[in-house]
Amino acid sequence: MIMKGKKGVILGIANKKSIAYGIAKACQEQGAEMAITFLNERFEQKLAPIAEDLGCGTRLYPCDVSRPEEIKALRDALEKDFGQIDFIVHSIAFAPKEGLSGRFMDISKEAFDVAMDISVYSLIEITRELKPILSNTSSVLTLSYYGGEKYIPNYNLMGVAKAALEMTVKYLAEDLGRDGIRVNAVSAGPIKTLAAAGIGDFSFMLKWNAAHAPLKKNVTIAEVGNSGMYLLSDLSSAVTGEIHYVDGGYNIMGMPAVEFDENGKPHIAWNGESK
């Protein structure tokens, strides 16, 4: 088993539709032991059966990344239960509702600060605080999206946050490489998750991606999970600072696929059907 003997922590599972859950499940199936975190009491109740499903037992810890004391408490709990750990999955992002609709220039400074703190700085803080218990062959993984590279309607503030997150991955990778620690990101295609529900016209994004990705489909959390597991495992021991796309190839496209009728009028092709 690829992850046998590996121990780690997954931050950001909301439910079984979460990308983080897909990664955790893939790691468990390959022999990893792990702990998971919850944001607040409401999520603790929801995640208890998921922790059981993932074989975490009682290793379900509170961690609101806006509270530095909870990150420190997480480190202490992990050290007590595992000693050292071999991987961290950072699947945490947040932007106030105003940052995911309307005109981009109308976003408030308060909303901007919150999005950058929770979605970006938390990766730096978590990595720094947990570094003393990271093994010298460990891997840190975070989650991004193509909206951090190109304009995506309604992604707005989260697109800027993901752009900052991707550069944070690169700078952390260089900084921690001397310690044997790798840092990467998975840039997944659109998936129906709790976080995605806050993005306007998300159902259209799903249709568009499926129509124009070379594989002509949307990805699943299991597919993203397997790619995440690879980046956490020793199979990727020489890979760091990478943004690994798992989006059916959508990111390579420079022009949407179209069909033309007998009069030469173009129609966007939706999975082979002109609409």
Active site residues: 145, 155
Q: Which of 174, 173, 156, 74 is CA-nearest to residue 119?
A: 156
Residues 158-184 as b/e (b if ≥16 CB within 10 A, e otherwise) read bbbbbbbbbebbbebbeebeeeebbbb
Q: Are 208 and 152 in contact (CB under 8 A)?
A: no
DSSP of 16-75, one letter per residue? Answer: TTSHHHHHHHHHHHTT-EEEEEESSHHHHHHHHHHHHHTT-TT-EEE--TT-HHHHHHHH
Q: Is 217 exposed, middle or buried (0-12, 13-18, 19+ CB in 10 A)?
A: middle
Q: How far apart are CA 155 and CA 160, in angstroms?
A: 9
